[in-house]
Amino acid sequence: MLGRIKKGDLCVSKVPATQEAGTLTYVEIINFWDKRDIDYDCPESVAIVPMIEVLVLSGPEIGRKHSHSRRQFRRLFEKIEEAS
């Protein structure tokens, strides 16, 4: 369960980045924003897509920034909870 996430939280992928490597990808949440999705056939129709920007901390794309819709992010990653 992803739960409430905020800037600075660490998350881990649910599946390995590549089958060859077999390692999970760790990311840090950098930013949140709402992206406008405009239908050019009907300019009055605008959808708001919640987005997340992450910094990759491990795996084949270490150091790169990626953007995901929050829906896609919830399917791909899970929040790392503190041990009690």
Give the confidence band of 82 by pLDDT, cuts at 50, 70, 90.
confident
Digit-coded pLDDT (tens) for 3-48: 588 999 999 998 876 666 678 889 999 999 999 888 888 878 888 9
Report pTM: 0.79
Distance CA 2, CA 40 (A): 34
Of the pLDDT bands very low, low, confident and very high (cuts 50, 70, 90), residue 63 is very high
Has residue 2 got a pLDDT over 80? no
Q: What is the predicted pLDDT for the residue at 1?
A: 43
Q: How far apart are CA 50 and CA 84, in angstroms?
A: 31
11: amino acid identity, one letter? C
Q: Is the pLDDT of residue 61 over 80?
A: yes
